[in-house]
Amino acid sequence: MDGLRLTHTVKKGGCAAKIAAGTLTDLLRSLPLSSHPDLLVGRDLFDDAAVWRVSEDVAMVQTLDFFTPILDDPHDFGAVAAANALSDVFAMGATPVTALTILAYPLDTLPPEVLQALMAGALEVIHEAGAHLVGGHSIEDDTLKLGFAVTGLGHPQRLWTNAGARPGDVLLLTKAVGTGTLAGARKNDEIDADAMAPAIASMRQVNRLDLPPDLRAAVHAATDVTGFGVLGHGLHLAQGSGVTLRIDAAAVPLLPGAADTLRRGILTKAHTSNTRYVAPHVAGRKDLDEVAWWSLVDPQTSGGLLLAVSPEAAEAVLAHVRARFPRAAVVGAVVARGAVPLEVAP
């Protein structure tokens, strides 16, 4: 596998390869929404996963996620693909229990050692999350794609969704942003492997918070920040909760080197599509410089969790989260719904 660059086998990688949020919304608008007394969370509010009530005390949380390579090393790519899929379950406040592999593999162009390394990296992360790989499905394809369908369990009354944020809540972000611009820079050899290392470490990290019950109850809403960026996923949370999010752009942590690559204009197609999607819903954009704006729409792969937390408990939640995620930060606040669902400040 010497010299193999997985990112050079695809045009777009990671969550930056998502269909643009606006395009997806238009395509799905005509489809009827499902309704059932036990379907607690469906697709109407853009939540991270679906929730089905199994009993009064048990809810099943289901999600899937897959994408093309964002990293060159197959072991790292497998780990990040697993962490990214597991994140949706953690974002709902649930515990992942099983994972199923989704794999498209080009047998004619990639050796079997790559597949073995992919799955070894994925298994490390799945086991770290306390889940079990129980099967999957694979096809032969021209382009490598890897992901997982993950099932988790939680209490129906204690899950987090996009719909619970309250005016006065504090917004916490658990990971620094910038994976989109850094991955683009690395793919085009505009940064070296060492400069990419902090982003890889961040993407590999599982979004398990392990909050004690009192702090867990102080989280009113949550979402994970992936391909639509801080503002795209923040928009879904704001709309689901009927509130406005005030984002302090200067407080949003950036991965090392990300400010430089953004300043140099190293962007993905998703930076533009995310901007197009959120721009009609944002106040204050004209007050931000380009680096600040692009950081807020940077497409994250296996990004952090955006939490709306009771102000009384925010300091304690942040301290607990920082034990695992040292770059976690307060990035804004929730206010009563104003003229638009998002406000940004420099």
Catalytic residue positions?
Answer: 15
Q: Map residue 11 onto helix, strand or coil.
A: coil
b/e per residue 269-296 (b: at least 16 CB within 10 A):
ebbebbbebbeebbbebeebeebbbbbb
CA-based end-to-end distance of the chain: 45
Two tokens at 144? Answer: 């490598």
> Tell me, what amino acid is at 224?
D
Helix (H), strand (E) at residue 332? strand 329-336
Helix (H), strand (E) at residue 177? none
Whole-number CA gyration radius for the chain: 19
Q: Is the separation of the CB atoms in 233 and 161 below 8 Å?
A: no
Q: Is the separation of the CB atoms in 95 and 153 below 8 Å?
A: yes
The residue ranges of DSSP E strands in 57-115, in sequence order, are 59-67, 95-105
- In order, the DSSP letters of 231-262 are HHHHHHHHHHHTEEEEEEGGGS-B-TTHHHHH
C-beta neighbour count of 218 within 10 angstroms: 20
Q: Distance (Å, rounded) from C-alpha 221 to C-alpha 209?
A: 14
Q: Which of 39, 160, 42 is nearest to 91 (CA)?
A: 160
